[in-house]
Amino acid sequence: MMTECPEEFRWLSDCEELHEIYCVSFVRGLAPEEVLRRFSVAGSAMEECDPIDCIGTAKIGDWILVVEPGGWQLAADPEIQARVGQGTEIVSVSRHDYASDIFAYIVNGEPVVQFEPVLPDDRSGTDPDRLIEEMRKVGLDPDHDIDGPLIDSPIERSFALASRITGLRFSPEMLKLCFPAAEPPEN
């Protein structure tokens, strides 16, 4: 039984700033500049980013909101997770229309819980069952029957789960705080 409705995240499907591929993450306790520095390799420019992408950051309470339009790295790339996540906590939601969407909860650079929102029963990480109760409450049933009906609104439900962990509700207003963004230099 779902006790929280993801209606408040329906705006994401019409958001022009975010396209068919994006990653939104919340990083606890770092400065926005430090998050961007950790995305870089050995202090060089953000070589890991596609030149058409940019990364936006904004401080919101104890968290740094990180938006990767056209990106997916903080949710899926173990090297980026290790660098950005060292000594902190990250909650990340990635939408990717041409590959897999991902929800990731990362502590000290290690994925604790990671899964595809349409397959919440197939979790990985150091403690894949840590968020089971929260997952149930937002409709990402950890016992989902893959042969049953598809999970409705998996990205919206992933943002509802992120909200339960961070205490922040991702909104269009938050997205506007992230830009102008740091853009990686041209190669």
pLDDT digits over 31-41, tens only?
Answer: 999 999 998 75
pLDDT band at 123 (very low <50, low <70, confident <90, very high): very high
Q: Is 115 exposed, middle or buried (0-12, 13-18, 19+ CB in 10 A)?
A: buried
Does the pLDDT at position 177 exceed 90? no
- Domain spans of the chain, in order of start: 6-175
Residues 95, 89: Cα–Cα separation, whole Å: 20
